[in-house]
Structure 1
Amino acid sequence: MLRAQSVVASVLALAATLSCSGRAPTRDPEADKAAIRALISRAVEVSRAGNGAAWAALFADGGVYMPANGPEITTRAGLEEFAQLYLGRFWSQTTITPVEVEVFGDWGFARTSVKGTIQAKVGGDPVPDPLQVDGKEIGIYRRQQDGAWKLWRLIGNSNRQ
């Protein structure tokens, strides 16, 4: 009888341990920071390629973009429309350099420097004399259900006076 009670107690202890292990898996902050940096690199790639749909896809559902000198964009359709319009009018030769990336669980942020040039397109061709870009951004990132990181909020400003 004592042996049966011991076995039952062991099984119950094991079951309790397994049921309590439903917590979130351990995350690797450095891997998460690298994933956010990769997303920033992807933003540069799709912007240079003029791919507005891919740019908008960098945002999570419910993502918001707050561009300098313009109204905030709060819908997926708005993000796609903005990106197609902007990338349809300009050739982008900018780089986005992460200055600071931090992760806190399923949330992260990046402070970035944006530098380079953009050229207006006329009839599909760039016009001479590109415009210098010198700006900064703060991006807030959110881990998705599948573990991927996406932009949740993005705000940008120019360094020009």
Structure 2
Amino acid sequence: MKNLNRTMIAIVSILTATACSSRLDTTEDKAALDRITKTTIQAFNQGNIEEYVALIADDAVYMPPNTGALVGKDVIRDWYNGVQSHNQFDIDIITENTELHGELAFQRVVWKGTITSKQGGEPFHHNAMCLNVLSKQADGTWKIWKSIWNRNREEADSGD
């Protein structure tokens, strides 16, 4: 019985130590995720696609509205180059929720701002919601692994 009690105490101690250390990692991980979010939108607004693409996983999958899935970093880079060649962006990003589950993080964000055609015309007000899944890499960094987005209802209803 004494051995069982000692074993239980050891297990509880290990679990408690592990839980405490993961809380510290959670704080650091959330800060890293916030930096990635801010860096991606800055790079996107500046048209710096290479800086943006450096933050996504090699096997990333993006699912933009009204188009097929974009599979892989090179395909995503090509798609964004096309989008950037026709438009100028001034978008803010608001993180509404971040959840960590082991080596995966789930972020729900809102994008608000304007998109202006480089061909001229009035700026388009953009209001979209996005769900990103980020994966922790072997080196401890986080990368965007999956992303899906759509316009928010108010924008979709306006006919824009």
Q: What range is the shorter-chain TM-score in?
A: 0.7 to 0.9
Greater relative contact order (Cα 8 A, min sep 6): structure 1 or 2?
Answer: 1
Cα displacement (A) at 1:88:
1.4
- Regions of 4+ moved over 4 Å: none
- In 2, are the aligned partners of 1:51 and 1:84 still within 8 Å (CA)? no
Structure with the higher fraction of residues in helix conformation: 2
Identity %: 27
How many residues get paired? 133
Counterpart residue number, 1:49:
46
CA RMSD across the alignment: 1.4
What TM-score comes out, normalization by structure 1 length? 0.78
Alpha-carbon distance between aligned partners in 1 of 2:74 and 2:42, rounded to the nearest angstrom: 21
Q: Note if contact 1:53-1:83 (Cα within 8 Å) is conserved in structure 2.
A: no
TM-score with structure 2 setting the length: 0.79
SS in 2 for 1:153: strand
Residues 40-83 of structure 1 show CA distances to partners (whole Å, capped at 9, x for unaligned) of 10111111110122222221121111001111100221111011
Q: What is the aligned partner in structure 1 of residue 12 from structure 2?
A: none
Gaps of 5+ in 1: 1-22
Inter-partner Cα distance in structure 1 for 2:106 and 2:34: 10
Equivalent in the alignment of 1:146: 139
Bigger Rg, structure 1 or 2: 1
**Gap runs ≥5 in structure 2:** 1-17
- AA aligned opposite 2:140: G
- Give the Cα separation in 1 of the matches to 2:52 and 2:64: 14
CA distance in 2 between counterparts of 1:48 and 1:154 reads 18
1:37 matched to 2:30? The reply is no
SS state of the match for residue 150, structure 1?
strand
